[in-house]
């Protein structure tokens, strides 16, 4: 829940690239991040 809120805030405030950086920071696995973003953007 918190992750989604942070992601939305990051996209709104700073753009996709920063959101990706934040996502990587919160999630230890890059593969998991990729899968997560596919769910958001597909």
Residue 3 near residue 26, CB atoms below 8 Å: yes
Q: What is the pTM of this model?
A: 0.21
Q: In this predicted model, what pLDDT tens digit does every residue of 22-39 receive, in sequence order?
A: 666 655 556 666 666 666
What's the domain range around 28? 2-41
Is residue 1's pLDDT more than 60? no
Number of structural domains, the chain? 1
Site of tokens 């805030």: 9
* Residue-level pLDDT at 7: 61
* Separation CA 24–CA 34 (nearest Å): 9
Q: How many CB atoms lie within 10 A of CB 37?
A: 15
């Amino acid at each position: 829940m918190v992750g989604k809120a942070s992601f939305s805030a990051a996209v709104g405030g700073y753009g996709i690239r920063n959101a990706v950086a934040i996502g990587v920071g919160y999630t230890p696995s890059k593969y998991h991040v990729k899968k997560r973003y596919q769910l958001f953007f597909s």
